[in-house]
Amino acid sequence: MDTEPTTETSESTAETPAAQQQDASASAPQQPAAEAPVDQLEQLHAERDELQQKLLRKAADYENYRKRTMREREEMRAETEAYLIEDLLPAMDTLKLGLQAAENHEGAADITQGFALVLEQFRNILGQRGLVETDPAGETFDPKLHEGVSQIASDEVPEGHVVETIRIGYYFKEKLLRPAAVVVSTGAINDEAEAPAGAEG
């Protein structure tokens, strides 16, 4: 009678580890919970890639803005220089006329040399800025590039070509700044004289 409770107590004590193992298995983390850090890592990678793309776009936008600003600045600078140089062209024309007038006087050698030096300095300085002279004598007349001031018959120059340049033209940085003033040939003198006779025949 006294030993039965003791046996039951022993059996109860023997079952305790199995119950503890079941409890441990029940409390073990499930597989989806283990995958949670992987999902977070992928999300972080995606956010990183998105930020990198945004940074690249911002860098490209800034580079385009910088190039556009530099281009606009250069265009404004060239336009300002063109206005200034265009205002100086009449002074260069006056120097050339003065040089030509001085060359016709025998005792004006010093004056002629002085005019020539000043004119050469003008040409060098403005040439460094992009100014180029153009003398279209002998070329085909182009109303887009030349300013025709008169016409004359010529046996040496074909019809529609420039006989003489009255005032040279200028290009500034490959753009026409001032067209050359020219005299245009109307053809050979004999052709004009024979035209009425041919019409009568």
Give per-residue pLDDT as tens, 37-94: 778 888 888 888 889 999 999 999 999 999 999 999 988 988 899 999 999 999 888 8
Number of domains in the chain: 1
Most confident of 14-18, 24-28, 50-54, 144-148: 144-148
SS (H, E, C) 180-192: EEEEEECCCHHHH
Q: Which is higher by pLDDT, 43 or 111?
A: 43
Q: Is a pLDDT exceeding 60 seen at residue 24?
A: no
Chain mean pLDDT for the chain = 80
Cβ neighbours of residue 142 under 8 Å, at least 6 residues apart? 136
Structure confidence by residue, pLDDT tens digits, 182-198:
999 998 887 555 544 44
Q: Is a pLDDT exceeding 70 seen at residue 158?
A: yes
Residues of the domain holding 157: 130-196
Is residue 103 situated within a structural domain? no
Per-residue tokens: 135:
């003398």
Is residue 109 situated within a structural domain? no
Per-residue confidence (pLDDT) for residue 40, from 0 to 100: 84
Q: Is a pLDDT exceeding 50 seen at residue 200?
A: no
CA distances from residue 115 to 106, 122, 123, 185 in whole angstroms, order as listed: 15, 11, 12, 33
Query: How many other CB atoms are found less than 10 A from the CB of residue 85?
Result: 19
Per-residue confidence (pLDDT) for residue 14, from 0 to 100: 47
CATH number at residue 181: 2.30.22.10
Is residue 140 situated within a structural domain? yes
